[in-house]
Structure 1
Amino acid sequence: MIRFFLRFTGFWLLAAGFVALIVDGTRSIAASSLLLMSAGDAWFAVSPGTLAALEAWARARSPALWDSGITSVLSVPAFLLLLVLGIVLMTLGRVRERSRFEAG
């Protein structure tokens, strides 16, 4: 059941990553220059309240955590972050192939 959930979530993250890549590509073609939306900008566009809540929580725990750790992750292009997270979840949820030489 957990493997299914990991694969299901990974699949949707991969799909969202490809959609973000298409959107960035379309915007870049229209502007005749490379335009990439960062993960932080995408998160702010979707749900600014949760991003503000994360910032408040992280600053309360450790200001260095927000300033150096989380902001560097949020500055990555959204499509890249989504694709990497999707691949990691798909890999964690993969069904292991049984070897024909394996006993049992």
Structure 2
Amino acid sequence: MLRFIFRALGFVLLAAAFAVLVVDGSRSIAGGRPLFTSLGDGAAAIGGVRYGAALAVAAGWPGPAQRIVAGLLAVPGALAAGALGLGLLHAGRPADGAFSERRT
């Protein structure tokens, strides 16, 4: 059951990554330069006020933690969703050799 959930979420995240990639591609063509939606922009669009409050809390963290959070939020959303989706698909795969036994 857990493998099914991992695989389903993995496929949904891969589909979302592809959709974001298509939108970013069309924005890049229209803008005449590469434009990517970062994780921070996506979180701001989804989270709104809660995202702003989380950033205010993160502003009080020590310097290295702020740089780590800023670096993570600058990652392109399609790349992050695709990587997480592939990771979930890998985690939900059947055990090695589960379907390879041939009964005669």
Hey, what does 1:90 align to over in structure 2?
89
1:54 shift after superposition: 3.4
SS of equivalent residue, structure 1 residue 14:
helix
Summarize the Cα distance change of 1:55–1:21 in structure 2 as closer, same or farther, 3 Å threshold. same
Q: Per-residue deviation at 1:57?
A: 5.2
- Output the amino acid matched with 1:100: E
1:42 positional shift = 1.1
Cα RMSD (Å): 2.1
TM-score by length of 1: 0.81
Inter-partner Cα distance in structure 2 for 1:30 and 1:3: 41
- Name 1:13's counterpart in structure 2: 13
CA contact (8 A) 1:59 1:65 kept: no
Distance between the aligned counterparts of 1:57 and 1:95, measured in 2? 41
Aligned to 2:22: 22
CA distance in 2, matches of 1:52, 1:43: 10
8 A contact 1:55–1:66 mirrored in 2: no
Q: Does 1:32 align with 2:54?
A: no
Deviation at 1:64, TM superposition (A): 4.2
TM-score (ref. length: structure 2): 0.81
Query: How many residue pairs get matched?
Result: 100
Secondary structure, aligned partner of 1:29: helix
C-alpha separation between the residues in 2 aligned to 1:28 and 1:51?
26
Aligned position for 2:3 = 3
Deviations along 1:46-102, one digit per CA (max 9) or x if unpaired, are 222332343355556x4446412222111000100000010001111111232439x
